[in-house]
Amino acid sequence: MQQSSEARAAERLLECRDHFSQDFYPNPNPVRGQKHTALSSTDTDSAAASWMQRVMQRVMQRVMQRVMQRVMQRVMQRVMQRVMQRVMQRVMQSDAESDAE
């Protein structure tokens, strides 16, 4: 029983690895146990380089998304602050004018 659950867990791990590697790995469906010795070192270098490029692209995309989110948050905060200041100024002005009458 223990062996079968461990075997199932190992199989699941391999499936997860294969599924994850579809995004990054140059060969999305490698045959299990297949050695990639057929690739020359320049192939593996370029594959690794393109993999790193994609990873860095995603990282930069997320970083830029968060930066832009924070920038927009601050901009909106300042805009709302100024709007509220002007609204309050006008309210105070109209109160003062109505008091003067």
The reply to whether 14 falls in a domain is: yes
Domain membership of residue 48 as a residue range: 2-29+40-74
Which secondary-structure segment (H or E) carries 93?
A: helix 41-100
Neighbour tally for 92: CB within 10 Å = 10
The reply to whether 6 falls in a domain is: yes
pLDDT at site 26: 55
pLDDT in tens, 23-44: 555 555 555 555 555 555 566 6
Quickly state the pLDDT bin for 48 (edges 50, 70, 90).
Answer: confident
Taking each helix axis from N to C terminus, what angle separates 41-100 and 2-24, rounded to the nearest 10 degrees? 80
The reply to whether 66 falls in a domain is: yes
The reply to whether 49 falls in a domain is: yes
User: Which percentage of the chain shows pLDDT scores above 70?
Assistant: 69
Residues 6+ apart with CB under 8 A from 44: 36
Handedness of CA 60, 66, 70, 72 (dihedral sign): positive
Please state the domain count of the chain.
Answer: 1
Which secondary-structure segment (H or E) carries 23?
A: helix 2-24
Quickly state the pLDDT bin for 3 (edges 50, 70, 90).
Answer: low
pLDDT at site 30: 54
